[in-house]
Amino acid sequence: MKILIDFFPILLFFGAYKFYGIYVGTAVLMAATVVQMGLIYAIDRRLQTMHKATLVLILLFGTLTLVLQDDRFIKWKPTVLYGAMSLALAVALWVMKKNFLKMLLGSQLDLPDQVWLRLNVAWIVYCAFMSAINAYVVVNFSTEAWVDFKLWGYAFPLVFLIGQGIYIAPHLKGDEPAA
């Protein structure tokens, strides 16, 4: 159910784009994201910072896209979001000396500090990569190619998350059987 909630705005965007174009697709994405955040709030009784940032950026860049009839705004939204995430994680880690991943997930995952550090750095690099690759596609390809990239580009986060799971699995402290 949770995965359906996570992906339904982008799936609706692709469908609307394919049948009606980028502006209808953008409006559908905006509306679906508002509904998505409402569902997440109804289930969890709160929105995480990432949810709030995503909602604000989609509404802001979507509104600019629709009002100015310029699709560049919605196409640059992922670059801005991933770039901001990379920068925030980097500043927190190397300037403020705080590991936000550990702060957010430490109560759910019991991992050694060195593993948390590596995960945080991996997220910084991953977000910087995703920001850069989206910018490259926006600058060098058509809107049609960008939309296709957004669809097939979901391989990047899936591979990253699977790799992350494989990396942390040996470090998880499970229930030890009694001797």
| C-alpha to C-alpha distance for 78 and 127, rounded to whole angstroms | 10
Query: Which residue is associated with the tokens 């927190």?
Result: 92
- The answer to whether residue 179 scores a pLDDT higher than 50 is no
Question: pLDDT tens, 112-137?
Answer: 999 999 999 999 999 999 999 999 99
Is 0.85 topped by the overall pTM? yes
Q: How far is Cα 132 from Cα 18, in angstroms, rounded to an integer? A: 25
What is the model's pLDDT at position 174?
62
Residue 160 clears pLDDT 50, i.e. is over it: yes
In the chain, the amino acid numbered 49 is T
Domain ranges of the chain: 1-68, 71-172
pLDDT at 20: 97
Statement: residue 178 has pLDDT above 70: no
Does residue 1 register a pLDDT over 90?
no
Q: Model confidence over 45-100: pLDDT tens digits?
A: 999 888 899 999 999 999 999 999 999 999 999 999 999 999 999 999 999 999 99
Provide the mean pLDDT of the chain. Answer: 92
Per-residue three-class SS string for the chain: CHHHHHHHHHHHHHHHHHHHCHHHHHHHHHHHHHHHHHHHHHHHCCCCHHHHHHHHHHHHHHHHHHHHCCCHHHHHHHHHHHHHHHHHHHHHHHCCCCCHHHHHHCCCCCCCHHHHHHHHHHHHHHHHHHHHHHHHHHHHCCHHHHHHHHHHCCHHHHHHHHHHHHHHHHHCCCCCCCC
Q: What is the pLDDT of residue 127?
A: 96
